[in-house]
Chain A
Amino acid sequence: MQITAKSLAGFAIVVFILVVSPYLTDESNLFVLMDVLIAILFATSYNLVLGGAGLLSFGHAAYFGLGAYTVALLQAHLGLPMLVGIALSPIVAGVFALLVALLTVRLSGMYFAMLTLAFAQLIYTVIAEWYSFTGGDNGIPITVPDYFFVTAHYFYLTLGIVVGGVLLLWLIGNSPFGAALHAIRENPQRASFVGLNVKLYQVAAFTISGALSGVAGALSGSLHQMAFPSMLYWTESAQPVLMALAGGIHAFFGPAVGAAIFTVLNFFVASYAGYPLLVFGVVVLVLVMALPEGVVGTFRRWLIRRRDAGSRAAPASRDARP
């Protein structure tokens, strides 16, 4: 509890700094910050499946990309404004995630990962090839309304949606539903013998995760004013996995920290060197080998150990909640 309260206080401080940041920094930094925020929502949503339900999905770029395409296609074909597209993105991405989940949760481990990857590639291929509807590999432009052309305005839109999405995921993680996911991840056999329909909960987690990944994609597409098939490509699916692992999948804010590290690093590496993914791969390798619980997981363990040593608490007492 103590640590939960502390991490929430930390969360509030970070949000406050972000709220005032348009007054503190220039536009180019705000753009990086928005990419960071979007990556945070993507990675935290993703982790509902990996850290939450214990399933390795390797196709989340599809839901991210579908979010962006929801905004772009509704605008191109029906003339609906960007905000409507963003509002509908979780529904479209969620429906696809639901369908894929229904077809994949029967499998586990590597087979599940491979099948989610296969479905994601299928969605990617349809979008990349269907020129008359999606523009194929030319992508589709997204027109941003004049009001959100002001960087600070779009920044606040992004910040509001990301903070809302992350808080929603936090509530889910601490709810009875979140506890059921935790139980399923720890011991699926016991979970079904306390009366939990394991597959149903996995499908639900995957669907929520896909829906919120879609919101992240909608924000990203709108920020860059473009929906591209490459947003759905399988290498993009590696990003939330790596972000979550780098930050720590069993700490709620782990993937968010991983996403921030990933995005900032990517920005610098892309600016000054040629191979962003290579550099990030090396960083993840180092993190996972040196800090197997991720940055946040390792930090939290250190906090707990320090507190236990300080209070000379019983060795088995614990409070490992993020």
Chain B
Amino acid sequence: MIAPVLEFDAVSKAFGGFRAVADMSVSLGKGEILAIIGPNGAGKSTLLNLGSGALAPTSGDVRHDGNSIAGQAAHRLVHRGIARSFQITSIFPGMDVAENVRIALMARRGYCRQFLWPAHRLLNDEIEALLAQVRMAEARNRLAGELAAGDRKRLEFAIALAGSPSVILLDEPTAGMSADERALVVEVLKELNERLGLSILFTEHDIDMVFALAQRIVVMHQGELIAEGTPQQVRADPRVREVYLGKGHRAEM
């Protein structure tokens, strides 16, 4: 077993009486690509929120490189090297593409406490490199709010990748994308994983995307882990079939 970079240890999250995540233990290995799948409301996004500092667990622990990060503020976790994207793409719509990446880079470097020197020429080479990584170099002067859905999503990757995180949590990274864009995202993520050893935890509804990218899959249902294993094992698991088929999801699985 590879050393875990992000561990959920018997984590639960309750909203009032509703347990969105119940006693989940999952660990993301260093350099691993792990998919979390499950029907709507299974608790996938909640799990990502627990891992990225958006939510504090009701019980259990979350560890990064062996240190507890449960309940720590999101901005602190970013500086530990945990980045994320959101199901509803979260960018700075009133800034141009380059400025979106620049603010992320400046924040990671701690430049944002500088009051007096101008920001607008900083870090252009790195912005260029990050945008090239998500194949968006030619869009650098466009207003982020005017981009198409797939481009916004890729810009959000560039923002998340700024400052070389060691872990990235992606909530439905290809939602709303065309097949071509999806293929591109798979390619980009695989490349980052191979070249930089980036550990990736992602949720996804598109099963083709999951099998194209994931090295290991965790299946959640009603806040609990119901199956875990390689794509082949998960595909063959009868409980997974029942959950998916029973809900009318992805019958071709």
Contacts and interface: CB of A to CB of B under 8 A. Distances in A.
Contact of B159 (A189, A190, A196): A190
A187 B115 CA distance: 21
Size bin of chain B's contact surface: 35 or more
B75 interface: yes
A318 B141 CA distance: 7
Contacts of A172: 115-116
A177 B112 contact: yes
A193 B84 contact: yes
B91 A195 contact: no
Interface in B54-106: 54, 73-75, 78-79, 83-84, 86, 90-96, 99, 102-104, 106
B92 A198 contact: no
A175 B146 contact: no
Contacts of B122: 176
Given A174-B120, A175-B118, A195 B96 contact: no
Contact of B115 (A171, A195, A196): A171
A183 B142 contact: no
Interface residues of A, number: 28
Given A175-B115, A180-B107, A318 B75 contact: no
A29 interface: no
A51 B104 CA distance: 21
A322 B219 CA distance: 51
Among B90, B93, B103, B159, chain A packs the most CB atoms within 10 A around the CB of B103
Interface string A156-174: 0000000000000001101
Contact of A183 (B86, B103, B114): B103
A195 B52 CA distance: 11
Given A175-B114, A175-B116, A196 B90 contact: no
A91 B93 CA distance: 36
B73 A197 contact: yes
A2 to B, nearest CB: 13
Contacts of B73: 192, 197
B75 A195 contact: yes
A190 B111 contact: no
Among B52, B74, B143, chain A packs the most CB atoms within 10 A around the CB of B74
Contacts of B143: 316, 318
B113 interface: yes
A206 B119 CA distance: 21
B96 A318 contact: yes
Given A174-B120, A193-B90, 5 more contacts: A176-B122, A177-B113, A195-B75, A198-B75, A316-B142
Report, nearest first, the 6 A-B pairs whose CB atoms are least far apart.
A195-B78, A180-B112, A194-B104, A195-B107, A190-B90, A176-B111
